[in-house]
Amino acid sequence: MYSAIAFLAAIAASIVFLTRRYNALSHLSTAYLHLRYPIKSADGKEGLPTLPFNWPNGQGNIEKYLRGRENSTKWGSQYGSIYRIWSGFHGEIILTTPNDIETVFRDSHTHLKANANDSGHYMYQLLGICLGLVSGQEWRSLRKATEAPFTRTATTTYVEGMMNHAKLHIASLCETKPEKWQLRPYADLRIYPFLALADILYGTISSELKARLLEIIPGRDSVFAHMMMGGVTRYPWAKYLPLKANREMRQFKQAWARWNDDAHAEAMNKVEKGECAPIIVMYQAVANGSISREALLQTLDEMLFANLDVSIGALAWSFVFIAAYPHVQARLLSELKTALVDPESTETYLMSQSNYLHHILLEGSRLRPVAAFSVAQACPTQRQVGTYNLPAGSKFVVDAHALNVRDPLWGPDNTTFRPERWAEGGVKRAKDVRYCYWRFGFGPRVCLGKYVVDLMMKALIVQVVRGWEVKLEDEKGGAWVWEEDTWALPPELRIACEKRRER
């Protein structure tokens, strides 16, 4: 009670003294937010360490995602192992230790996702009800209707097709110079996962459909850029304004729906031949009312567009690490020579989660997680985390670097790229690593695409590395001096591929 009065007095004082200052609004909001959303330790003595609110976004998006890597370390040393930031006016509790993460995430299938990712109404129209952003019964029905093609067993059946995709993609990249060519880590990796995934979902699509699918990409990119910029389109009433953003949204959604209907029709024509593409069963679930048409279209967008950037980044980093560390490449090559003798052993090799190739992916994602902080989600019940009582509905975010790099499990060479560590002592047992490593999420609700993504990455890596020696270069073919703490892909970085000579 006294502290509340003191707070009010402090606010009154703030109004008098701070309104003249530039950052008065930040201070006022900080005081208000502390009062409105108090979080105390179990003995009621301490408040949860909380960052001051910066007008008007808090730490939302820029500091959290774009500067996330630096701020993870900075905030961790300043505020401790559990603290709160602001994403707009939404408090988000940052978790940095495996114990706390287990307490919160062991029932992740019951968690509530932030409405449209806290990104406003424009985002809601694009992806507001996709699989990754819905909760409860809605999530269960949608997951059931879309998960069949992504299980481990289903993924095993894609190995041969994926290897062919990878081969064709490489052929298209090195067409003119198969002896020595350069791979651009981002631009040259975009179409490959896209078409590979489309084939899985829709069956092998005709070249006409493929061309139309590729034509949809620029419009989708533009809509996504409007969403990221935010501003007025965050508000529901803005959809009535004659904005370019709104027109492009309508055009994209129409084109996407029509393309899917046509791809579905094409797949139906092949049913007689005994092919049953996953899209057919997904459309059945719409027809019998288990899921809505809009939710399915958004989920297909989520799979093919929204998650793709993430996959390209992960793939690019794998190539960079393999090229940067010749001893890693040599060991991988010798593993490939013994593993890829026939189609059957290729399948076993690509699906294994305990070989050197797999450890390269794990190690790359450990050091370059796809985001510094995970997307916020809320537990439905109250939790005691550390000494704090966190009310039901508190939103939680995982600090990827605190786990993947700073957790003592990875010491003392925690910042070194060393795939071998995944075959050693403490790290080897899945149970020890479970909550010390962030990649596909925690608990029962994790990334739907995890097996397919790994297969996609492995197929391309295998096809490149067994045919070409990879090295880091700049765009003009000059040597590249690798620095271990490079963490944003430099635009002029290239993967040079030089044909291997048989010995």
Instruction: Return binding residues for heme.
Output: 447
Q: Which of residues 280-339 bind ligand HEM (CB under 6 A)?
A: 302-303, 307, 310-311, 314
Q: Decide if residue 361 touches ligand HEM (CB under 6 A).
A: no
**Shortest Å distance, C-beta 338 to ligand HEM:** 27
Determine contact, residues 135/112, Cβ cutoff 8 Å.
yes
User: Residues 143, 184, 190, 383: which binds ligand HEM (CB under 6 A)?
Assistant: 143
Residue 378, phi then psi, degrees to nearest 5:
-110, 140
By a kind-dependent CB cut-off of 5 to 8 A, residue 303 interacts, out of ligand NAG, ligand HEM, none, with ligand HEM
**Shortest Å distance, C-beta 311 to ligand HEM:** 4
Residue showing tokens 């996330």: 68
**Shortest Å distance, C-beta 3 to ligand NAG:** 25
Which of 218, 189, 185 has the alpha carbon at shortest distance from 491? 185
Of the ranges 18-26, 211-219, 445-453, 482-490, which one interacts with ligand HEM (CB under 6 A)? Answer: 445-453
Residues 281-285: contacts with CB within 8 Å, 24+ apart?
A: 281/145, 281/148, 282/145, 282/146, 285/141, 285/145
**Shortest Å distance, C-beta 46 to ligand HEM:** 29
CB nearer to ligand HEM: give 355 or 374.
374
For residue 117, the one-letter residue type is N
Binding residues: 447
All residues at 6 or more sequence positions from 178 whose CB lies less than 8 Å from its CB, including other chains: 499
Let me know if 17 is exposed, middle or buried by CB neighbors in 10 A (0-12, 13-18, 19+). exposed
Q: Decide if residue 397 touches ligand HEM (CB under 6 A).
A: no
Determine contact, residues 282/296, Cβ cutoff 8 Å.
yes
User: Residues 145, 441, 458, 461: which binds ligand HEM (CB under 6 A)?
Assistant: 441
- Give the span between the Cα atoms of 223 and 225, in whole angstroms: 5
User: Residues 133, 397, 400, 460: which binds ligand NAG (CB under 6 A)?
Assistant: 133
Determine contact, residues 291/142, Cβ cutoff 8 Å.
yes
Token pair, residue 156, equals 């095993």
Determine contact, residues 209/277, Cβ cutoff 8 Å.
no
- SS3 state of residue 474: strand
**Shortest Å distance, C-beta 132 to ligand HEM:** 3
Which of 14, 35, 36 has the alpha carbon at shortest distance from 25? 14
Q: Decide if residue 306 touches ligand NAG (CB under 6 A).
A: yes
User: Residues 30, 117, 329, 394: which binds ligand NAG (CB under 6 A)?
Assistant: 117
Of the ranges 325-333, 334-342, 444-452, 471-479, which one interacts with ligand HEM (CB under 6 A)? Answer: 444-452
Between 389 and 418, how does the x/- string for binding to ligand NAG read (CB under 6 A)?
-----------------x-x--xx-xx---
- Give the span between the Cα atoms of 172 and 425, in whole angstroms: 43
Q: Decide if residue 74 touches ligand NAG (CB under 6 A).
A: yes
CB nearer to ligand NAG: give 59 or 394.
59
CB nearer to ligand HEM: give 54 or 311.
311
Q: Decide if residue 453 touches ligand HEM (CB under 6 A).
A: yes
- Give the span between the Cα atoms of 157 and 169, in whole angstroms: 20
By a kind-dependent CB cut-off of 5 to 8 A, residue 104 interacts, out of ligand HEM, ligand NAG, none, with none
Largest CA-CA distance found in the chain, in angstroms, rounded: 82
- Site residues for ligand HEM per CB under 6 A: 131-132, 143, 302-303, 307, 310-311, 314, 370, 374, 439-441, 445-449, 453
